[in-house]
Structure formats: structure tokens, C-alpha cells
């Protein structure tokens, strides 16, 4: 059986992706900050799972805990990095920006790097990272979030180039969701929500991308059209 770890499996897309992988005979490592939710999810999955409480903001600890989990699982073939937060911040409050950067940039990079080093050593693997349609827009309300997702996209693309040049059998998939009904979107202005998907549908598309080793997907697919249009717009019109 293949082995996968989902970073951020306590809710939303991460939770549903973990369930989807388990349904398709993966041994799954479940991680997140809320251990009670990890245990609840573990009980709902009939295949073999492992849980590890990991707070990606505590990068040094998170790195060691992820290495422990890989060892406990007996290896790793796939990592799906779903952890992320959004903090509306009209006041440009540093504490809010720092929390977003620590989670979405530093935490993401720490997890991606551990997996990359492991995959390089074994010469195969697959990294899936959740970016966002927000990575190609700007926002006065969630500026740090948009910037952090642009970082995620750029970092994933850089890893793909690195692995391609080194002829490693390592795949990288960039996932750009539009609106998805999750806990994160509960604070959104619902008058601006459109083309929304469920987290289950998002997980289905992510699994399809995994088995087909796709470089990039939009969730849902129609967001590809909007992404093309947005990239053609001048800066002043790319405001979220």
C-alpha cells in the first residue's frame, strides 16, 4: 500500500482529501493542530491511519514531528499540504500578518522541504500543495493571505523545476481552489461567493490530479478561464 500524509487534515479540503486517499487504499498520516479532530477523523476511516499533532507555525518542532511520522508509517510516497489560514486585516496589524506568514509561508515551506529531502533520497514521491486563486489577485482585506498563496505557487513551481533538472521521479502538483465551502469561507462576504465547490468535490479533483500526476489544477475547473482573464488585467483591476 502507498503511504500519504495530509498536513492540515482537521477540516475542509484536507479532511476530505485524507478520507479520499483512505478510500483508495492509502495508509494515511493525519496531522493538524487539533488532536481531538484528528482522533475523530481517524475513527471514521476503516483503513490504517496514523495521527500526529503538528502545529506548522512551530517550524522546528513541526519538522521533527513530520520526520517522526514518516518513520512511524514506514515511509512516504505522497504529501498533501493543506494547512492555511486567512486573517482579515484592514488595520495592517502585525500580529495578524505574522500569524498568516508563519502558517502559510514558513509552515508550508518547512513541510515541503522535509518531504522534498525524503523524496530526493528515495528518488520518488509526490508533493501536492494548496495555493489559491487569491495568489493572482490583490486584497486590502486579506493582503498577507494573497501574498502567501503567491509564495506557495512560486515555491511549488521552483521545486518542480529542481526535480525535473535532477531527473528525479518526483512530481509536484499545484492546486488553485476558487471558492470552496469550508470553515475558512464562513467569514467571507457571501455576496461575493460564486462558482463554489464542496470540500468533497475538491478532494475528488485533487485525487484525480494525483493519479494523473498533473502539474496544476483549478478547483473547480471553470476557474481556469477566470485565471486567464485575471492575468490579462492591469493591476488596478485585479483587486479581490
- Residue tagged 489544477 (cell numbers): 217
CATH class of 3-237: alpha beta
- Residue tagged 482522533 (cell numbers): 39
Q: Express each pLDDT in 101-129 by its tens digit.
A: 999 999 999 999 999 999 999 999 999 99
Per DSSP, 58 falls in state S
Q: Express each pLDDT in 175-228 by its tens digit.
A: 999 867 666 665 555 556 666 778 999 999 999 999 999 999 999 778 777 677
Whether residue 25 contacts residue 50, with contact meaning beta carbons closer than 8 Å, is answered with no
Q: Express each pLDDT in 40-64 by its tens digit.
A: 999 999 899 999 999 999 999 999 9
User: What's the chain's average pLDDT?
Assistant: 91
Evaluate if residue 231 carries a pLDDT over 90.
no
Q: pLDDT at position 58, please?
A: 97
Q: Omega before 220 cis (within 30°)? A: yes
Amino acid at each position: 500500500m502507498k503511504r500519504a500524509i495530509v498536513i492540515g487534515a482537521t477540516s475542509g479540503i484536507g479532511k476530505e482529501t485524507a478520507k479520499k486517499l483512505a478510500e483508495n487504499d492509502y495508509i494515511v498520516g493525519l496531522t493538524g493542530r487539533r488532536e481531538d479532530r484528528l482522533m475523530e477523523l481517524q475513527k471514521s476511516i476503516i483503513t490504517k491511519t496514523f495521527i500526529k499533532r503538528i502545529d506548522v507555525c512551530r517550524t522546528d518542532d513541526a519538522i521533527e514531528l513530520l520526520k517522526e511520522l514518516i518513520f512511524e508509517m514506514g515511509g512516504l510516497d505522497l504529501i498533501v499540504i493543506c494547512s492555511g489560514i486567512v486573517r482579515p486585516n484592514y488595520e495592517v496589524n502585525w500580529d495578524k500578518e505574522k500569524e498568516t506568514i508563519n502558517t502559510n509561508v514558513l509552515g508550508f515551506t518547512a513541510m515541503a522541504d522535509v518531504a522534498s529531502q525524503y523524496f530526493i533520497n528515495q528518488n520518488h514521491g509526490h508533493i501536492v500543495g494548496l495555493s489559491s486563486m487569491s495568489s493572482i489577485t490583490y486584497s486590502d482585506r486579506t493582503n498577507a493571505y494573497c501574498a502567501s498563496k503567491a509564495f506557495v505557487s512560486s515555491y511549488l513551481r521552483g521545486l518542480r523545476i529542481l526535480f525535473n533538472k535532477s531527473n528525479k521521479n518526483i512530481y509536484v502538483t499545484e492546486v488553485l481552489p476558487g471558492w470552496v465551502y469550508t470553515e475558512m469561507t464562513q467569514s467571507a462576504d457571501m455576496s461575493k461567493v460564486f462558482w463554489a465547490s464542496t470540500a468533497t468535490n475538491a478532494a475528488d479533483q485533487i485525487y484525480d490530479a494525483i493519479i494523473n500526476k498533473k502539474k496544476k489544477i483549478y478547483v473547480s475547473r471553470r476557474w481556469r478561464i477566470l485565471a486567464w482573464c485575471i492575468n490579462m488585467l492591469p493591476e488596478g483591476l485585479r483587486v479581490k
